[in-house]
Amino acid sequence: MYPVLDYDKCVGSLACYEVCPADVFDTEEKEGGKKAVVSRADDCIECEQCVDACPTEAIELVD
């Protein structure tokens, strides 16, 4: 499993980027400012810390 971000919900808090122990995310400029992007999906350890940290529920883990 790996995280997928819904950029319609994402507000760019970068909470997922900050809490991820597996360094799955990077940041890049998107519409609306800097946002997290999944750069290393294969490194995800399925801890769900990113899901829990997201203030707008913009992340889900998928197969």
pTM of the full predicted structure? Answer: 0.90
**Per-residue CA distances from 23 to 2, 9, 17, 32, 58 (Å):** 12, 22, 8, 23, 18
Which whole number is the average pLDDT over 57-62? Answer: 97
* Residue 19, burial from CB neighbour count under 10 angstroms (0-12, 13-18, 19+): middle
For 16-43, how does the pLDDT look when each residue is reduced to its tens digit (9 = 90+)?
A: 999 999 999 999 998 778 999 999 999 9
Q: Which domain holds residue 54?
A: 2-62
The CATH number given to whatever domain includes residue 23 is 3.30.70.20
Q: How many domains does the chain have?
A: 1
